[in-house]
Amino acid sequence: MVGRPIMTLLLEVEQLCAGYGDISILQNINLSIGSGQVIALLGANGAGKTTTLRALSGMLKVSGRIRLQGADIAGLPPERIAGLGVAHVPEGRGTFSHLTVDENLRLGAWLRRDRAGIEADRERMFGHFPRLKERLSQQAGTLSGGEQQMLAIARALMLKPRLLLLDEPSFGLAPRLVDQLFDALHMIRQQEQVSMLVVEQNAHAALSLADTAYLLEHGSIIASGPATDLRNDERVQRAYLGE
Amino acid sequence: MEIFLHQLFAGVTSGAIYASFAVALVMVWRSTHHLNFAQGEMAMFSTYVALALIEAGLGYWSAFCLTILLSFVASMVLERMIVAPISKAHPLAAVIVFVALLSIFHSLASWLFTPVLREFPSPFPNGSLDGFPYLSWHATGVVALIVLELMAVWLFFRSTRLGLAMRAVAQNPDSSRLVGISAGRMLALGWGLAAALGAVAGMMIAPIIYLDPNMMAGVLLYGFAAALLGGIDNPWGAAAAGLIVGLLDALVGAWLIGPELKLSFALALIVGVLLVRPAGLFSRPTQTRV
pLDDT tens digits for B74-122? 999 999 999 888 888 888 888 999 999 999 999 999 999 987 899 999 9
Give pLDDT, residue A158: 96
Give the per-residue SS3 of A24-60.
Answer: EEEEEEEEEEECCCEEEEEECCCCCHHHHHHHHCCCC
Is A128 within 8 Å of A154 (Cβ atoms)? yes
Question: What proportion of chain A, given as a percentage, has pLDDT over 70?
Answer: 96
Instruction: Round to whole Å and give the CA distance between A97 and A138.
Output: 10
pLDDT tens digits for A173-205? 999 999 999 999 999 999 988 999 999 988 889
Phi, psi of B208 (to 5 degrees): -85, -45
Q: Which residue has the higher pLDDT, A110 or B280?
A: A110
* Å between B244 CA and nearest CA of chain A: 27
Q: Do A103 and B179 touch (CB under 8 A)?
A: no
Q: Is the pLDDT of residue B248 over 90?
A: no
Residue B177 lies in a domain: yes
Residue B192 lies in a domain: yes
Instruction: Round to whole Å and give the CA distance between B62 and B226.
Output: 30
Q: Do B289 and A144 touch (CB under 8 A)?
A: yes
Residue B64 lies in a domain: yes
Instruction: Round to whole Å and give the CA distance between A183 and A177.
Output: 10
Residue B171 lies in a domain: yes
Q: Which residue does chain B place closest to A53, by CA atoms?
A: B178
Burial of B63 per CB tally in 10 Å (0-12, 13-18, 19+): buried
Residues of A in contact with B168 (CB under 8 A): 96, 99, 103, 107
Number of domains in chain B: 1
Instruction: Return the closest-CA partner of residue B245 out of B260, B261, B229.
Output: B229
Torsion, Cα of B45, B48, B50, B54 (10° steps): -170
DSSP state of A243: -
B66-79 mean pLDDT: 97
Structural domain of B106: 2-113+135-276
Q: Within an 8 Å CB–CB cutoff, is residue B234 touching chain A?
A: no
Q: Do B172 and A96 touch (CB under 8 A)?
A: yes
DSSP state of A99: S
Q: Crossing angle of helices B183-209/B39-55, nearest 10°?
A: 60
Indicate the range of A200-204, B51-55, B142-146 predicted with least confidence.
A200-204
Give pLDDT, residue B108: 94
Instruction: Round to whole Å and give the CA distance between B233 and B248.
Output: 22
By three-state DSSP, how is residue A211 classified? coil
Give pLDDT, residue B215: 92
* Å between B182 CA and nearest CA of chain A: 6
Q: Within an 8 Å CB–CB cutoff, is residue B288 touching chain A?
A: yes
Question: What proportion of chain A, given as a percentage, has pLDDT over 90?
Answer: 77
pLDDT level of residue A241 (50, 70, 90 thresholds): low
B235-257 mean pLDDT: 87
Q: Within an 8 Å CB–CB cutoff, is residue A98 touching chain B?
A: yes
Q: Do B167 and A99 touch (CB under 8 A)?
A: yes
Give the per-residue SS3 of B142-199.
Answer: HHHHHHHHHHHHHHHHHHCHHHHHHHHHHHCHHHHHHCCCCHHHHHHHHHHHHHHHHH
Instruction: Round to whole Å and give the CA distance between A56 and A42.
Output: 16
* HSE of A229, CA atoms in CB hemisphere, 13 A: 9
Is B252 within 8 Å of B266 (Cβ atoms)? yes
Residue B126 lies in a domain: no
pLDDT level of residue A236 (50, 70, 90 thresholds): confident
Give pLDDT, residue B286: 52
Residue B118 lies in a domain: no
Domains in chain A, please, with CATH? Answer: 9-88+160-241 (3.40.50.300)
Give pLDDT, residue B31: 81
Q: Is the pLDDT of residue B60 over 80?
A: yes
Q: Is the pLDDT of residue B185 over 70?
A: yes
By three-state DSSP, how is residue A144 classified? coil
Which amino acid is residue A107, in one-letter code? L
Q: Within an 8 Å CB–CB cutoff, is residue A146 touching chain B?
A: no
Give pLDDT, residue A159: 95
pLDDT level of residue A1 (50, 70, 90 thresholds): very low
* Å between B169 CA and nearest CA of chain A: 9
Choose, out of A57, A86, A98, the residue to mutate when testing the contact with B (most B CBs < 10 Å). A98
Chain A / chain B CB contacts < 8 angstroms: 82
Rg (CA), chain B: 19
Give pLDDT, residue A243: 44
B51-69 mean pLDDT: 96
Residue B285 lies in a domain: no
Give pLDDT, residue B50: 97
CA distances from A57 to A12, A153, A239 (A): 13, 15, 25
Instruction: Round to whole Å and give the CA distance between B81 and B100.
Output: 14
Is A195 within 8 Å of A34 (Cβ atoms)? yes
Q: Is the pLDDT of residue B218 over 70?
A: yes
Give the per-residue SS3 of chain B.
Answer: CHHHHHHHHHHHHHHHHHHHHHHHHHHHHHHHCCCCCCHHHHHHHHHHHHHHHHHCCCCHHHHHHHHHHHHHHHHHHHHHHHHHHHCCCCHHHHHHHHHHHHHHHHHHHHHHCCCCCECCCCCCCCCEECCEEEEEHHHHHHHHHHHHHHHHHHHHHHHCHHHHHHHHHHHCHHHHHHCCCCHHHHHHHHHHHHHHHHHHHHHHHHHHHCECCCCCHHHHHHHHHHHHHHCCCCHHHHHHHHHHHHHHHHHHHHHHHHHHHHHHHHHHHHHHHHHHCCCCCCCCCCCCCC
Is A206 within 8 Å of A42 (Cβ atoms)? yes
Q: Is the pLDDT of residue A141 over 90?
A: yes
pLDDT tens digits for A5-29? 456 889 999 999 999 888 899 999 9
Is A59 within 8 Å of A78 (Cβ atoms)? yes
Phi, psi of A3 (to 5 degrees): 80, -5
